[in-house]
Structure 1
Amino acid sequence: MKMKSSNPNDTTRKKTGFMKKMKVDIPLWLFVLPGMVLTFIFSYIPMYGVQIAFRNYNAKLGFFNSPWVGLKYFERFFHSPYFTDTISNTLILSVYALIAGFPIPILFALMLNSFRHKRYKKIIQTVTYAPNFISTVVMCGMIVLFLSPSVGVVNHIIEFFGGDAINFMANKNYWRHIYVWSGIWQGMGWSSVIYFAALAGVSPELHEAAVMDGASKFQLVRYIDFPSIVPTATILLILSCGSMLSIGFEKVFLLQNDLNLSVSQVISTYTYQVGMVDHNVSYSSAIGLFNSVVNAILLITVNKTADKLSGVSLW
């Protein structure tokens, strides 16, 4: 069997060509350098702390001297009486929010893009963008106040029409709907911005040609506008599925109480309860690591599925 001899000149040429490309792209490398440094500092360096999930962590002993316990805390979580309820609550809330909330920004962007009155279009955009800038604490305070059985405006309207006041926050049957639809109202306008950017790239000539052929507004949206934002929507859907188990902690925690705990206890709040309240850092780290691994698996699976079905993927 003959061995191929490597030519030193070819290697030198490749290195020279690579260095020339690097010199040409120096401004681009400098542009991404701060983001790379920050990602390395805040995302990669802290990864050495993952070992806490496999150790009986003691702050006095440190990371490396704490006793190694292997998969003890993972097994404890899997056999915990809270495991089934916590996972099911998280999945139900995530899937509900995805199904209800993902199409609405798309529909809103398509409808507003076909709206020809520019003045009113800007007013609608401003009104729908504004809720996104309300902080989570203020938003939850507004929700609790509006739905209060004694002073809430919603119950005042119900009583005005002859109904009885309802304690919405104490009824677990309403909690998921309150959480999801308040989030849709808050984020709908801002989430549609990226779709407006995609629609801005559609050539006006396509619309003009379609109108000359007798296409209606609905046909313009269906055959021109909607296909143009499908790749963007696919990427956002992949990213949303990749964070399926990562329900935001702040809003859930602020809307949570003892009466709705059976449906509002999700992974993030349970991790907080175990780690901060019960002071079991290793156990909470194991739960967080499990959450991250499942999200990574979902991201890879959905990305491959989207690549096979539509040819659009993250990588």
Structure 2
Amino acid sequence: MNRTLTPLIEQRADPFIYRHDGGYYFIASVPAYDRLELRYASTIAGLADADPVTIWEKETIGPLSELIWAPELHRHQGSWYVYFAAAPSREIRDGLFQHRMYCIATSASDPLNAEWSHPQRIETGIDSFCLDGTAFHHRDELYYVWAQKEPGIPGNTNLYIARMAAADTLESAPVRISIPEFEWETRGFMVNEGPAVLIRHGRILLTYSASATDENYCMGLLWADEDADLLDPASWKKAQHPVFTSDAERSVFGPGHNSFTIAEDGVTDMLVYHARTYTEITGDPLWDPNRHTYVKPIAWDKDGFPRFGRPSLVKEPTDEDGNQHQ
């Protein structure tokens, strides 16, 4: 039986869906990596046919002229912000591109019809390859989590957290909370990237993606108690095994770089992620455009941890303890 899944949106990697006033905004990396593109619909399914609106385009020269990656739309204190990464060229130095993180903002109520600010770089205090910034509120504080190369540590990127003074400015020094250490995090490349935060059941849950962006790409999980000091590395625990992986039966390969949203019922947590439908990639996976956006509900076990199960469009059957059958 062929159980191949149909993507919600084709050729959109690093997907991010933001629910606001009952509707949904969608932003993601476009295959040309040349612009920030936003769309809106009243339902998640409606995003598939919504008209995309370009809100910013890469510059012709300089630090914002190439490889516009992994945008996220956030709202803080009545204003909209888009976090993204950009590079000055496609040049690779010491095995890495030269991305840095940036933010654009608008106080307009409608982000699709707005005048956005010029990008401002988000300084982390470490001048090295960095990307995949996300932000979240907790206990009246705003935090920023991202992926960055730290000199002296093997691999491509680790995960860091800092408190923010404003939506585009870090207040505290970076705190490293995860490095690629397990075998499933180091296939092809040593990578921890694409962090996403969900606060549920007394925990700060932080998913991330690991390994090369082919069929080895997968999701891991960190968590901290909601009362813990989030800037203390000891507060964070790490799952020893991936929580979401490729599924050959359903032709979903390399699922990752996820975000979270809420279903139309206002209750059900939804996992948003990208994946390919094949493994035979010609050339560099970076230039293969067929990472598609998928969405599925999240189940929860009796201890309040997310169970992502297998790639699907519906909930997997669960037993009386709430554990998903595989």
Task: Normalising by structure 2, report the TM-score.
Answer: 0.20
Q: Which has the higher contact order (CA 8 A, sep 6+)?
A: 1
Q: Give the number of the structure whose residues are more often helix, by fraction.
A: 1
Pick the structure with more strand per residue: 2
**TM-score normalized by the length of structure 1:** 0.20
